[in-house]
């Protein structure tokens, strides 16, 4: 204490150092407060693009996720639907679109004509194959008998007429509404448990995608 009373310069030095320390502490506290406030304001601005990017990725995945074909065939067009050029029948692009417009059987005539195979040595080897063209409303517009190793001409004609009475459901898109999709009807015989042969038909589209997304054709 005697040094404190006898040395004014020492007292001034101590007081000055204390004042500087207090000022530095206040400045540091204010700087931290300003930094925290700036960080709090800028955080939402940085988070917004991240949320937008996530939404864009989700939308892209959903648009690729679609059930009618591979992702590459379902990419959105750069133009409006009315501006899209019509595909040439039989072209690769048209075949791709036909594969996307996969038709599903909606209804059939109440009874299928039966083929008499009593005089046929091996009924299980015979086929009547009919190619059908289905329009966007699911109606068969034309049919062609392409193979016949089973039945009489009258029976083959009856099966062809049955195929013409089928109706289908197609995806409700502009591409599917504006074209005809080719479907194959394969009539064949199958032995029942009673030993009697019955006529059945297997329906499948001519153009489909396999598990890897490649276009495949059936005859």
Percentages of the chain per state (helix, strand, coil), in multiples of 5:
45, 25, 35
Q: Which helix (H) or strand (E) holds 113?
A: none
The full set of domain ranges for the chain reads 2-62, 94-217
DSSP assignment of 37-105, as one string? HHHHHHHHHHHHHHHHHHHHHHHHHHHH--TTS-GGGGPPPSS-GGGSPPPPTTSHHHHHHHHHS--EE
**Contact indicator for 207, 182 with CB cutoff of 8 Å:** yes
* Pair 168, 103: CB distance under 8 Å: yes
35: left (phi > 0), else alpha (psi -120 to 50), else beta?
Answer: alpha
Digit-by-digit pLDDT tens for the chain (219 residues) are: 554 455 555 455 555 555 555 455 545 555 544 444 433 333 333 333 333 322 222 222 222 222 223 333 333 333 333 333 334 455 788 899 999 998 999 999 999 999 999 999 999 999 999 999 999 999 999 999 999 999 999 999 999 999 999 999 999 999 999 999 999 999 999 999 999 999 999 999 999 999 999 999 998
Structure token pair of residue 168:
């289908």
CB 159 within 8 Å of CB 130: yes
176: phi then psi, degrees, rounded to nearest 5: -80, -30
Distance in angstroms (rounded) separating the CA atoms of residues 186 and 200: 8
Distance in angstroms (rounded) separating the CA atoms of residues 77 and 216: 23
- What tokens does 90 get? 């039989």
- What pLDDT is stored for residue 43 in this prediction? 35
Question: What does the pLDDT read at residue 209?
Answer: 92
DSSP state of 138: S
Q: For the chain, how big is the Rg over CA atoms in Å?
A: 39
Please state, in angstroms and rounded to a whole number, the distance separating the CA atoms of residues 108 and 174: 25
């Amino acid at each position: 204490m005697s040094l404190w009373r006898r040395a004014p310069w020492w007292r001034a030095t101590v007081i000055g150092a204390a004042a500087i320390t207090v000022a530095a502490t206040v400045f540091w506290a204010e700087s931290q407060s300003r930094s925290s406030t700036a960080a709090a304001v800028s955080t939402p601005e940085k988070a917004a693009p991240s949320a937008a990017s996530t939404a864009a990725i989700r939308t892209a995945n959903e648009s690729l996720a679609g059930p009618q074909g591979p992702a590459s065939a379902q990419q959105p067009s750069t133009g409006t639907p009315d501006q899209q050029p019509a595909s040439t029948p039989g072209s690769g692009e048209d075949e791709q679109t036909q594969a996307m417009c996969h038709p599903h059987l909606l209804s059939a005539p109440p009874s299928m004509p039966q083929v008499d195979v009593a005089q046929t040595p091996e009924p299980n080897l015979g086929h009547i194959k009919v190619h059908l063209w289905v329009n966007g409303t699911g109606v068969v517009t034309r049919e062609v008998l392409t193979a016949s190793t089973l039945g009489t001409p009258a029976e083959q004609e009856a099966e062809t007429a049955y195929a013409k009475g089928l109706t289908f459901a197609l995806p409700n898109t502009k591409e599917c509404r504006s074209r005809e999709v080719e479907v194959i009807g394969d009539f064949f015989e199958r032995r029942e448990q009673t030993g009697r042969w019955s006529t059945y038909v297997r329906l499948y589209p001519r153009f489909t995608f396999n598990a890897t997304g490649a276009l495949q054709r059936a005859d």
